[in-house]
Amino acid sequence: MNNSHRPLDVIILAAGQGTRMRSALPKVLHPVGGRPMVAWAVKAAQELGARSVVVVTGHGAAQVEAALAGTGVTFARQARQQGTGDAFLSGAGALPSSGSASGSVQADDADILVLYGDTPLLRPSTLREMLTDHQARSSAFTILTGELPDATGYGRIIRDEAGNVTRIVEQKGATDAEKAVREFNSGVYVMDARAPQLARQIVPNSVTGEYYLTDLLALYHAAGAAAHAFKLADIDEVMGANDRTGLAEAEAILRRRINTGHMRAGVTLINPDTNTIEDTVTLGQDVTVEPGVILRGNTQVASGVTLGAYSVITDSVLESGVVIKAHSVLNGATVGAGSDVGPFARLRPGSVLGAGVHIGNFVETKNARLDAGVKAGHLAYLGDVTVGAETNIGAGTIIANFDGVNKHQTNVGAGVFIGSNSTLIAPRTVGDAAFIAAGSAIHDDIPEGALAIARGKQRNMEGWSRRYWGGMREKVSQKLPWLAAWLERQ
């Protein structure tokens, strides 16, 4: 929440093309940590309690606006990319208030925070501290800065002998002494409500023709207003991702940040550098995460769960004591307490497992509800089915739920024993405590407690192999020496 006495508006600059990304996707839509980069800025603004969030779009505007639809932000399009000053004014025009006509700041005027759509690592806590400092010092213009041993490429923060910020000098225009300055400008600012009016006084750069938001500093000074800097403790927070290597670096930093938080909260990550856990995931205490695990979306993992190596789990709920074995894939599934899944299992959306369910290797479920104690140990497909408690599903069982056009539902009762390699041709109902003989193709309902056998009668044809292989004796002798010798003995 924004605890200041003035409301806060946020302008997010997201109009750039990002040519170094070499992509048809707008730069700010490239994901880091499971979200488009620009969505991290929106999230930060909203966590600060901003009354209004304006995203300035330009290159790929329709795509950016579609990606952020429904998030509660307002959009402002920058018609021509003419620099950060022009982008700021585009956004300011969409704010509920942009200062009084006289240029004075009124008690109910909002501060304006400027963020960027390509800096996904900036923490809301840092911005909150910056806002507090801005208002505690009665600052009109506060610059978020950092320090580097070598700040080459950044604008430098120039201070006077008293430590006050006097200028922002860009790299190209810096003297040798100014280039030696280690404090750099991040481009993130907090300003009072006069900013839009002052920004209209910015003149285009004589070389590039662009309008630079950094010129606001001199305009605030000319208005007799105080300007200050708030220095970052962690410069990684303002690291921008300008190309694919930058994306990978940001992803690694965010991954370490999230994983460290989980470990400090009581989660065991055996090899945290290999785990990707999105910030929307919740993990209980004493969860063990083996190498290579990926956790996405609104996944909720209760205490005491073990997640096997290289499992991928998305938008799923895992109750206490669940064991997910290696290489399993879960999406939109719920797994009841004490159940185990895998290895190499796949639970698709709508899969709901009760307590103590066993799903073994190469078992796939979809829109399937399995009650407590159900066991499906091997090589089964269970789609559009409900299965009662303690039912045993043999290896190779298939619920044939699709007729080529429509999906059909099957209901299997409690305590049912389904033999290996059985096929249930939906829609079917199988009564409680029924048996299905191995290899059956079930095309009728089965009453409670009945045994269903649906397979052809076995018939043995003597001498078949000799006649069959004998017709290919020459090829058999070339490729199958044991069989060729067998034929010779007949």
Report the Cα–Cα distance between both ends of the chain, in Å, rounded: 89
CA dist 61 and 15 (Å) reads: 7
- Among residues 47, 28, 49, 197, the alpha carbon closest in space to that of 118 is found at 28
Q: Can you tell me the distance from the alpha carbon of 28 to that of 64, in angstroms, rounded to the nearest whole number? A: 8
Mark whether 378 is an active-site residue. yes
Distance of CA 330 to the CA centre of its chain: 15
Report d(CA 284, CA 486) in Å as an integer: 63
Query: What is the three-class DSSP state of 237?
Result: helix
Q: What would the two tokens of residue 287 be? A: 């969860």
Q: What are phi and psi of 8, to 5 degrees?
A: -125, 130
Q: By three-state DSSP, how is residue 224 classified?
A: coil
Q: Which of 330, 350, 366 is nearest to 341 (CA)?
A: 330
What is the CA angle 306-307-310, rounded to 5? 155
HSE, side-chain direction, 13 A CA sphere, residue 416: 30
Catalytic residue among 5, 378, 408, 443: 378
Question: Angle, nearest 10°, between helix axes 37-47 and 124-136?
Answer: 50
Question: Is residue 29 within 8 Å of residue 38, measured between CB atoms?
Answer: yes
Q: What count of Cα atoms within 13 Å lies in the side-chain half-sphere of residue 435?
A: 5
For residue 55, CA distances in Å to 61, 79, 247, 314, 391 come to 10, 14, 21, 29, 54
Six token digits for residue 309: 């190596």
Which secondary structure element, helix H or strand E, spans residue 199, and what is its range?
helix 195-199
- Please, what sign has the CA dihedral across residues 123, 238, 12, 28? negative
Q: Which residue has the tokens 């991928």?
A: 312
Q: Is 135 helix (H, G, I), strand (E, B) or coil?
A: helix
| Bridge-based pairing state of the strands 156-159 and 35-36 | unpaired
DSSP state of 457: P
CA distance 29 to 23: 10
Active site residues: 378
